[in-house]
Amino acid sequence: MENIAAQNYFGGGRSSTYDRKIRASLPGYEALHAMVDDFLRLALPERAHLLVIGAGTGMEVLALGSVHPGWRFTATDLSSDMLAIGRANMEAAGLADRVAFHVGEVHELPDEPSFDATTSILVSHFIKPHEERGRFFRSVASRLRPGAPLVTAEVVGDRQDPSFAHFLEAWKSHYAAAGIPAQEVEADFARTDATVSFLPEGDFASLLAGSGFTEIRRFFQALLFAGWVARKR
């Protein structure tokens, strides 16, 4: 079910506007990715194999690959349109020869604890049922070496909490102030509302703990976006 939602969400023309729109949407997108590197640099040796889930237009591989010449990547995405743009960006940056591409789900990769680290940036909120999200993170954990770091970011929030509506309005207002026309703001937020799943942050941390991760720490918050680091148990 989540496959279709994410594929439609990022398919066709929307993949070509992604790089502009994500920067308009998420305050601190570049800073978030710089912090992904901060945590991975601390944890990984010169040579490492990283699993980049939802690699999209290539931000993680571009940011990490350019400064860590000994790191190689397996880049997955459900959307072939997004990954095609990502691949072209990686080729232009001279990084593609260190990347294996996989259009599809993590659970389709060999079930071996072979990766030294993983990133899942702005991905898991597209997986709607709670149990599906648990299965997703369990399949990630089983592909990581013991102790390997996970860096993840997603939207979080409790719709019952009055702060949710407040933060949602501020998010919309941020997007509009970044120059997105009013009609597109409404259409994009309606699509986001129908497609993504907000988990209260405590539930999200518990979900990671129940999926084989430990040392779960939050390092980032911007409006309804949150970033976490953890380790495979």
Ligand X SMILES: C[S@@+](CC[C@H](N)C(=O)[O-])C[C@H]1O[C@@H](n2cnc3c(N)ncnc32)[C@H](O)[C@@H]1O
Query: Which residues contact ligand X by CB under 6 A?
Result: 2, 6, 10, 22, 53-54, 56, 59-60, 76-79, 82, 105, 121-123, 126-127
- Distance between CA atoms of 24 and 179, rounded to whole angstroms? 8
Q: Which is nearer to ligand X, 76 or 211 (CB)?
A: 76
Smallest distance, ligand X to C-beta of residue 56, A: 3
User: What are 56's two structure tokens?
Assistant: 């999209």
Smallest distance, ligand X to C-beta of residue 205, A: 20
Q: Which is nearer to ligand X, 116 or 154 (CB)?
A: 154
Q: What is the CA radius of gyration of the chain?
A: 17
Q: Pick left, alpha or beta for residue 128 (phi over 0 → left; psi -120 to 50 → alpha; otherwise beta).
A: alpha
CB-based contacts of 36: which residues, under 8 Å, 6+ apart? Answer: 60, 63, 64, 119, 121, 151, 227
Smallest distance, ligand X to C-beta of residue 222, A: 13
Smallest distance, ligand X to C-beta of residue 160, A: 25
Q: Which is nearer to ligand X, 44 or 118 (CB)?
A: 118
Phi, psi of 210 (to 5 degrees): -80, -5
Q: Which is nearer to ligand X, 83 or 168 (CB)?
A: 83
